[in-house]
Amino acid sequence: MLVNQTSVIGRTLSVDSLRSLGVTITRIFGPEHGFRANASNGARVADETDPKTGIPIISLYGRKRKPSPDDMAAIDILVFDIADVGCRFYTNINTLYDVMEACAESGKELVILDRPNPNGYVDGPVLDMKLTSGIGKFPIPITHGMTLGEFARMINGEGWLPGKAQCKINIIPVQHYTHAMEYTLPVSPSPNLNTQQSVLLYPSLCLFEGTILSQGRGTYMPFTVLGSPELKGVFDFSFTPVSIPGKSETPLHQNQVCYGLDLRNYDISAYRKKGQINIRWMMDLYKAYPNKEKFFDKSLSKQIGDIDKLVGTTKFKEQIMAGVSEEEIRKSWEPQLTDYKLRRKKYTLYP
């Protein structure tokens, strides 16, 4: 089973549920953050043994990213059961791809226990494949509007596995689900997405990982605030990132007072109904930032990511710096975005 802390049926982990039914589980594969979600963002995760069941846990976010031939030889079926947040730069879709490749190579079936996508809309530029990386492997927009079961169908249908190999997949669908539904994850999907508000703000606020602004890592309100020490006097709201083991050990602007936006009570429903990520915050905060040459400068800190790889295009940074209107920025995402929406329809399981 490829599972983490979100793999629950009621309050019980699906591993425990299946074991209680007499299913023999020989391996647990753990993704980013580990089986119990106690590893920080991007941190390597080691192999271990689950203390409750004695089942070996093999990390797919350490020395390897996909199950080995020996791993696959020890199993009959691989069950994939992880809650996702529906974003290109959230690494669950990469893990899904890797296990599909391993299953295709070994001839084993992949059973996907599908789960709702809390960010079920489609928006953002489609990734320029010249910018592929660990935070963007597929020609899809920022919010892809699919469940992981649907995305597995797309991986097969678009021939994305090496040599256009096909993985045998068996998707257990979600009853009565539609993409228009508001859905609250019952368990935090990762240490820094610890509230429903952070999950829904994540597609917009994660883009700030490509800037000098903190998104609240190193606080207990990550991905609901934005700020920088240099915005003192511009904004009244402030927060101070600190080292938090298992969450953010060395956050950007550690132990410095950051000033900016408090989005904890922002009405998320408005732009969710629009089906759009919010790029106004990026436009407004760049305009407000006093030292603009530092805003996107990833040489200033290892915590600053590559804005081009996050957004999926080199145009966005240039547009923000040039003061291009939101309407013009959105126009530049076409026709690729509309083309993707049409392709997506072939693979959806839910209305």
The string of pLDDT tens digits covering residues 10-30 is 989 999 999 999 999 999 998
Radius of gyration of the chain (CA): 20
Which residues have a Cβ under 8 Å from the Cβ of 163 and sit 6 or more positions away?
none
Alpha carbon dihedral 137, 138, 144, 147, in 10-degree steps, equals -80
Mean pLDDT within 322-338: 98
Which residues have a Cβ under 8 Å from the Cβ of 134 and sit 6 or more positions away?
91, 94
Exposed/middle/buried for residue 239 (C-beta within 10 Å: 0-12, 13-18, 19+): buried
349, 147 in Cβ contact below 8 A? yes
Whether the CA torsion 127, 260, 43, 200 is positive or negative: it is negative
Enumerate the CATH 3.40.50.12170 domain ranges in the chain, comma separated: 2-185
307, 211 in Cβ contact below 8 A? yes
6, 23 in Cβ contact below 8 A? no
**Alpha helices by DSSP H, the chain:** 14-20, 69-73, 92-106, 148-157, 196-205, 269-274, 280-288, 307-311, 315-322, 326-331, 336-344
Q: How confident is the model at residue 62 (pLDDT cuts 50, 70, 90)?
A: confident
197-219 pLDDT, tens digit per residue, is 999 999 999 999 999 999 999 99
Q: How far apart are CA 153 and CA 112, in angstroms?
A: 11
Q: What percent of the chain has pLDDT over 70?
A: 96
- Can you read off the two tokens belonging to residue 40? 């920080």
**Adjacent-strand bridge partners of 80:** 2, 112
Q: What is the DSSP letter of 207?
A: G
163-184 pLDDT, tens digit per residue, is 999 999 999 999 999 999 999 9
| pTM of this structure | 0.93
Q: Identify the CA nearest to 179 among candidates 123, 112, 134.
A: 123
Mean pLDDT within 41-70: 80
Enumerate the CATH 3.90.1150 domain ranges in the chain, comma separated: 196-326
Mean pLDDT within 261-280: 91
Mean pLDDT within 47-75: 87
Mean pLDDT within 109-125: 97
212, 304 in Cβ contact below 8 A? yes
Q: How far apart are CA 278 and CA 283, in angstroms?
A: 10
167, 103 in Cβ contact below 8 A? yes
- Can you read off the two tokens belonging to residue 335? 């026709």
Q: What CATH number labels 2-185?
A: 3.40.50.12170
Q: Which fold has domain 196-326?
A: Aspartate Aminotransferase, domain 1 (3.90.1150)
Whether the CA torsion 144, 86, 93, 310 is positive or negative: it is positive
Q: How confident is the model at residue 41 (pLDDT cuts 50, 70, 90)?
A: very low
**Adjacent-strand bridge partners of 57:** 28, 48
Q: What percent of the chain has pLDDT over 90?
A: 83
Query: Alpha carbon 65 to chain centroid distance?
Result: 16
Pick the range with the lowest mean pLDDT from 32-36, 141-145, 252-256: 32-36
Q: How confident is the model at residue 40 (pLDDT cuts 50, 70, 90)?
A: very low
Q: Identify the CA nearest to 142 among candidates 118, 122, 158.
A: 122
Which residues have a Cβ under 8 Å from the Cβ of 123 and sit 6 or more positions away?
141, 142, 143, 203, 275, 276, 277, 337
Mean pLDDT within 82-109: 96
- List, as one string, the DSSP characters of 35-61: TTT-S-TT-----EE-TTT--EEEESS
Note the pLDDT of residue 299.
93
Identity (one letter) of the amino acid at 262?
D
> Which helix (H) or strand (E) segment is 228 a member of?
strand 225-228
The owner of tokens 């594969």 is 29
Q: How confident is the model at residue 246 (pLDDT cuts 50, 70, 90)?
A: confident
**Adjacent-strand bridge partners of 282:** none
